[in-house]
Amino acid sequence: MHNKTILITGGAGFIGSHVVRLFVEKYPDYKIINLDALTYAGNLENLTDIEDAANYTFVKGDITDEGFINSLFDEYKFDSVIHLAAESHVDRSIKDPLAFVRTNVIGTMILLNAFKALWKDDFADKLFYHVSTDEVYGSLGETGLFEETTSYDPNSPYSASKASSDHFVRAYGETYGMPYVITNCSNNYGQNQFPEKLIPLFINNIINHKPLPVYGDGNYTRDWLYVVDHAIAIDLVFHEGKQGDTYNIGGFNEWKNIDLVKLLCQQMDVALGRDKDSSEELITYVKDRPGHDLRYAIDASKINKELGWKPSVTFEQGLKITIDWYLNNEDWLNSVTSGSYQTYYQKQYS
Ligand code: NAD
Ligand code: TYD
């Protein structure tokens, strides 16, 4: 396997930090450059264990800054990009859709152009890996699964911006012969997730005896995957996936929100040594999210059959690892929930 110089964007975020760690530790001969703007969601504390590794460099910068991105590609001559940088939270996209167009659509375009400009005469051994979401497929009814061939039908500004970026990546493949691969993954959970998403937000609220705001009737369904299993899938697709192809990644693990929240409450009561049912008493039904997708569920049989990938932990195991991590990393949790998080929380939930 020849040495590579890989740009990982968004590597200080939740999933990106797990991908960076896996690549830095597993491939000492690769040069890994982590580019991240360190928005509210990016945190170098996620990577202190590998920050001094010889094959790792962090660069602070914004993917929407075209001049900066072009000079970065000139300097490092990246032969591969694993693109995770994005605005990633649906609720924020409802309040500020344009920010999602800027980063997720225009930022992706700027990366695609820089990659094309560098290699257009010879794309051999090059790869643009675009990390996307199952939300581009829209909402399922009570039955059925998202397959790689399911038509795109995004409903939120977040999913519309991710769908748009997926289309541009495919268009660059078709039009300019740019080698790419796209993965569409279901909801991730695990250590280092910013506490605006369901699981870490509820863990933080349970710790602090705050209400657990369940949107609508709680009968919305998501398919949950442990973040390290997503990073393992990305490694596999990066090295063995078919160029110009798409793979769905999912946990084979559908949960109605309210059932998941009850399981989380039970595990938190045990972990915190609190009375049985004390966390469940915090459940509060609140106004629904506008345009709330009813159900996401992934058919991950293609990546399973073609590349032999499957999740390595059960949901109960992954949830326990996650809860233990948040309880043992109080400083991390306190630092990300101070300052602007409080303002966000007030606006979103008051
Ligand atoms: P995240 O919000 O935790 O992290 C995003 C990272 O991107 C942050 O470190 C942030 O600082 C950085 N970033 C944002 N705007 C940037 C910009 N303009 N320039 C440079 N860096 C910027 O997100 P995540 O949950 O880790 O998601 C990562 C990727 O995976 C996203 O593309 C997302 O769409 C996709 N995805 C997420 C999930 C999920 O459940 N979280 C599921 C499937 C796919
Ligand atoms: P979220 O973690 O935001 O992921 P996504 O919207 O990308 O699936 O939300 C997961 C589910 O939990 C979704 O159906 C919305 C719901 N939810 C709540 O009920 N309350 C909350 O406070 C949050 C953040 C989400």
Q: Taking the chain (350 residues) in consecutive chunks of 10 residues, what is each chunk's mean pLDDT?
A: 89 98 98 98 98 98 98 98 98 98 99 98 97 98 97 98 99 98 98 98 98 98 98 98 98 97 98 97 98 98 98 97 98 94 95
Closest C-alpha to 135, from 162, 95, 166, 170? 162
Q: What is the pLDDT of residue 2?
A: 66
Contact by Cβ (8 Å): 126, 79: yes
The answer to whether residue 349 is domain-embedded is no
Residue 62 Cα: closest atom of ligand 1? 19
Q: What is the pLDDT of residue 115?
A: 98
Residue 64 Cα: closest atom of ligand 1? 18
Q: What is the dihedral of CA 250, 256, 262, 265, to 10 degrees?
A: 40
The answer to whether residue 298 is domain-embedded is yes
Residue 17 Cα: closest atom of ligand 1? 26
Q: Is 214 in the pocket of ligand 2 (CB under 6 A)?
A: yes
> 301 lies in which domain range?
4-192+223-255+293-314
| Residue carrying structure tokens 């072009």 | 70
Which residue's C-alpha comes closest to atom 32 of ligand 1?
84
Helix axes 315-328, 198-207, angle to 10 degrees: 50
Q: Which long-range contacts (CB under 8 A, 24 or more apart) does 331-340 make?
A: 332/43, 332/45, 332/192, 333/195, 333/204, 333/207, 335/45, 336/43, 336/194, 336/195, 337/195, 337/204, 340/40
Q: How far is the CA of 13 from the centre of ligand 1 (A)?
A: 6
Residue 214 Cα: closest atom of ligand 2? 19
Q: Is 108 in the pocket of ligand 1 (CB under 6 A)?
A: no
d(CA 125, CA 169): 17
- What's the token pair of residue 287? 């106004």
Q: What is the pLDDT of residue 317?
A: 97
Instruction: For residue 103, give the CATH number of its domain.
Output: 3.40.50.720
For residue 178, the one-letter residue type is M
Q: Is 237 in the pocket of ligand 1 (CB under 6 A)?
A: no
Q: Is 250 in the pocket of ligand 1 (CB under 6 A)?
A: no
Q: Which positions are catalytic? A: 134-135, 158
The answer to whether residue 343 is domain-embedded is no
d(CA 186, CA 251): 7
Out of 197, 282, 319, 341, mutate this one to test ligand 2's pocket (max ligand atoms within 8 Å of CB): namely: 197
Which residue's C-alpha comes closest to atom 13 of ligand 1?
85
Q: What is the pLDDT of residue 125?
A: 96
Which residue's C-alpha comes closest to atom 7 of ligand 2?
90
Which residue's C-alpha comes closest to atom 15 of ligand 1?
86
Name the helix (H) or strand (E) containing 36.
strand 31-36
Give 235-294 as a DSSP string. Answer: HHHHHHSPTTEEEEE--S-EEEHHHHHHHHHHHHHHHHTPPTTTTGGGEEEEPPPTT---
Q: How far is the CA of 11 from the centre of ligand 1 (A)?
A: 8
Q: How far is the CA of 278 from the centre of ligand 1 (A)?
A: 33
Q: What are phi and psi of 288, to 5 degrees?
A: -70, 160
Q: Which ligand is nearest to the CA of 220?
A: 2
Which residue's C-alpha comes closest to atom 3 of ligand 2?
197
- What's the token pair of residue 337? 């929930």
The answer to whether residue 287 is domain-embedded is no
| Residue carrying structure tokens 């990305």 | 234
The answer to whether residue 146 is domain-embedded is yes
Question: How many separate domains does the chain show?
Answer: 1
> How many residues does the structure list for the chain?
350
Q: What is the pLDDT of residue 3?
A: 84
Residue 218 Cα: closest atom of ligand 2? 19
The answer to whether residue 333 is domain-embedded is no
Q: Is 58 in the pocket of ligand 2 (CB under 6 A)?
A: no
Q: What are phi and psi of 55, to 5 degrees?
A: -95, 15
